[in-house]
Amino acid sequence: MNQNELFALSFSPERLGIPSSSILRFMDKLHREQICMHGFLLLRQGQIAAEGYWSPFSETSMHRMYSVSKSIVSLAIGLLIDEGKLNLHDRVVAFFKDKLPDPLHPYLAQATVRDLLMMASPHIRTTYTRHDTDWAATFLNSKPTHIPGTLFSYDTSATVALSTIVERISGLTFLSYMRERLLDPIGFSQDAWCVQTPEGTSWGGSGVICSLRDMAKLAYVCLNKGRWNERQLISESYIREATSKQMDNSITGHHGYGYQIWIERNNGFSFRGMGSQLAYCFPEQDLIFACIADTQGSPNAEVNIVHAFREEIFNAVTEYPLPEEDATYTILKEKLKTLEILPQTGNHTSSFERKVAGNWYAFQENTMGLKRMRFSFLGDEGLWEYENASGEHRLRFGIGKMVQGPFPQTNYYGKRIGTVSGKGYDCLSSAAWVEEHKLNLLVYITDIHLGSLKMTVSFKENEVTVYMIKAAEWFLDEYEGVASGHCV
């Protein structure tokens, strides 16, 4: 393969001025912190210095990008502006005459496309909830809190309004509109798509499903001022504005905001999505760090990822190629091939295993609606059987390993918010004994909606107490709380 080709794999990180040892140290830090990584990609001078995926994820896996979707919507807006079909100073209400309240609040009437791009809408927070049936309408019909264009206020409903504008002008989903103009020229996955809002438009604020490479390719277009292989796909002027500080957000501890794109230290910018979907771009170093993960419920995990990248990789980058680290590079390549999502830590066996296996435990009334449960164990796997308000369920789990399978709850949303999928989300499950009498269960949801369930089961003679914590947006609600019961 021609090594000058964009996104080609470099012969070694050293040829791109990055020590293999620094990448290994970065990965070791993630491992020590037990961070639930799904993949990472390191791009220097348009070539891949390192790329790895934690099984079962791979280079071709379609992955929920959450708020990275906002940055993609910004690029769609830029394309419309390039075509002369939209202006930054167009009033938002002009595109929603069918949804406007009467009377129209003057703050809402003033709001422009640029205001929404800068996260400077007239709302202090997102206006919709999962129970609303028209999210764009909530943006227009909720009472504004302040003058638009004056404050940074992270408002996902503003991005929903922007993606709806793209779809109303183009007559296509916003990703379909971008296909010929931007996505196809960079080799963006043909099977990428977007979760829908309840009203049936693309959930541009959070719903894009694509690969890690897809995200990194769009980040590279921005790093390269709108170009791909010297072909100008989106105007340099728009990209310069989108990736430079347009709105101060230092009060929230950040370094500024562009057009649905975050501003970073060292003259960088980033795409960011919930759960550590990230693309950090540094034009002066011609460097991109991108990753996918699920760190929901672990508030320090994303900070640790970025800190490890900056400390071990960013600070080690040199302007010129480095001497080869052949032995270290060999270790790095092998490690990148064998990455797996880590199972629950703890002991694989306990004296309590034989005491409790097969016993049904009935629960007192509890907020989770949990009625009864039992565990079975066979070698390095187990089975959790339980009954809650939605019926009887079974979940297989590994011991010292992850086991893939469907999560047994089938009443969660699928490709459209508000519409039940009728199937269990894909998940990984494992368990371990963290004390002689205490079993911890760890479940990662790995579907188009990401999340996790952590459960402690503490046995005491013929009694049991269960404590569940979930980290997921709008599902796993039945799995959060405490319940006690006894053997029957």
Three-class DSSP category at 269: strand
Please tell me the distance from the alpha carbon of residue 21 to that of residue 13, in angstroms, as a whole number.
Answer: 10
The answer to whether the Cα torsion of 73, 76, 81, 82 is positive or negative is positive
In this predicted structure, what is the pLDDT of residue 1? 32
Mean pLDDT to the nearest integer, 273-288: 98
Given a cut of 90, whether residue 272 has pLDDT beyond it is yes
| Closest by CA position to 261, among listed 245, 249, 248 | 245
Overall average pLDDT of the 326-338 stretch: 97
Query: Can you tell me the mean pLDDT for 340-362?
Result: 97
Question: Rounded to whole angstroms, how far apart are CA atoms 74 and 159?
Answer: 9
Would you state the pLDDT for residue 421? 95
- The pLDDT tens digits for 404-431 are 999 999 999 999 999 999 999 999 999 9
Q: Select the CATH number that applies to the domain covering 13-337 from these four: 3.40.710.10, 3.30.390.30, 3.40.50.1980, 3.30.420.270.
A: 3.40.710.10
pLDDT value of residue 316: 98
Residue extents of the structural domains in the chain = 13-337, 352-487
Note the pLDDT of residue 3.
39
Instruction: Give the dihedral sign, CA 56/62/67/71.
Output: positive
CA torsion through residues 27, 64, 281, 122, sign: negative
CA dist 430 and 343 (Å) reads 6
Three-class secondary structure of residue 43 per DSSP: strand
Average pLDDT on 87-107 reads 98
Is the separation of the CB atoms in 286 and 17 below 8 Å?
no
> Would you say residue 350 has pLDDT above 50?
yes
- The pLDDT-based confidence of 10 (bands split at 50, 70, 90) is confident
Fold of 352-487: Lipocalin (2.40.128)
Are both 13-337 and 352-487 of the same fold?
A: no
The sign of the dihedral angle between the CA atoms of 275, 42, 184, 242 is positive
Tell me the β-bridge partners of 420.
Answer: 413
Average pLDDT of the residues in 83-103: 98
Short-list 404, 353, 359, 407, CA closest to 379:
353
Mean pLDDT, the chain, whole residue set: 97
Taking only the tens place, the pLDDT of each residue in 143-159 is: 999 999 999 999 999 99
pTM of the model: 0.97
Residues 45-54 pLDDT 10s? 999 999 999 9
pLDDT at 364 over 90: yes
Question: Rounded to an integer, what distance in angstroms lies between the CA atom of residue 380 and that of residue 331?
Answer: 29
For the beta sheet containing 208-210, the strands, ordered from the edge strand earlier in sequence to the opposite edge, are 63-64, 208-210, 193-194
pLDDT for 4 equals 56
pLDDT more than 90, % of the chain: 98
